[in-house]
């Protein structure tokens, strides 16, 4: 064989070098949290996705990491400011560096989260639901049901 042969480690070192030189600066990125796990040492591991605009299909997926010392601060700041938990199913705007490790592959190392983006996204979703209910003519259906003279049972149905 006339072509040079590289080891897997050499190739992963090359990938790491290229990523570090080309993508060394942090980026602001938007994504939805598909999965979120906090291990015993306090590190937070996320699976992040972006869905197609027209549907539910996944357009892109990446792993994210928030190290324990950073996670304690970011979680407290996010939950205090946004008034909601950092959990699966929400969209976030975060600052991250692109990292590559020979054993663990590509990951986004998250260093900051902007809670105002998530609040804006939730408000947009709420407005879309209200518009859809109005369009379908069901937004005022409960008002059409007469209440009994003395209400004895009330049920509240809502999301978390």
In tens, the pLDDT along 82-96 reads 888 999 989 999 999
- The answer to whether 31 touches 92, Cβ cutoff 8 Å, is yes
Instruction: Give residue 1's pLDDT band: very low, low, confident or very high (50, 70, 90).
Output: low
User: In whole angstroms, what is the distance from residue 74 CA to residue 107 CA?
Assistant: 18
**Confidence at residue 145, expressed as pLDDT on a 0 to 100 scale:** 81
**Confidence at residue 130, expressed as pLDDT on a 0 to 100 scale:** 84
Provide, rounded to the nearest whole percent, the portion of the chain with pLDDT above 90: 56
pTM, to two decimals: 0.74
Given phi > 0 = left and psi -120 to 50 = alpha, else beta, which region is 148? beta
pLDDT digits (tens, 9 = 90+) for 7-57: 999 999 999 999 999 988 999 999 999 999 999 999 999 999 999 887 678
Instruction: Give residue 124's pLDDT band: very low, low, confident or very high (50, 70, 90).
Output: confident
**Confidence at residue 111, expressed as pLDDT on a 0 to 100 scale:** 96
What size, in residues, is the chain? 160
Alpha-helical regions (H) of the chain: 8-22, 68-82, 115-135, 141-144
The DSSP secondary-structure symbol of 102 reads T
Q: How many CB atoms lie within 10 A of CB 139?
A: 14
User: At a CB cut-off of 8 Å and minimum separation 6, what does 57 contact?
Assistant: 51
């Amino acid at each position: 064989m006339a072509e040079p042969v590289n080891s897997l480690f050499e190739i992963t070192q090359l990938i790491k070098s290229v990523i570090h030189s080309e993508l060394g600066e942090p980026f602001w990125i938007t994504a939805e949290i598909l999965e979120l796990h906090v291990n015993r040492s306090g590190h937070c591991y996320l699976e992040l996705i972006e869905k197609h605009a027209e549907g539910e299909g996944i357009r892109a997926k990446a792993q994210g990491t928030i190290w324990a010392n950073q996670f304690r601060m970011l979680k407290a700041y996010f939950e205090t400011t946004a008034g909601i938990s950092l959990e699966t199913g929400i969209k976030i705007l975060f600052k991250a560096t692109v990292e590559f490790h020979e054993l663990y592959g590509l990951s986004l190392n998250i260093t900051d989260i902007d809670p105002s983006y998530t609040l804006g996204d939730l408000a947009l979703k709420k407005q879309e639901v209200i518009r859809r209910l109005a369009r379908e003519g069901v937004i005022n259906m409960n008002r059409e049901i007469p209440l009994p003279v003395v209400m004895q049972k009330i049920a509240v149905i809502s999301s978390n």
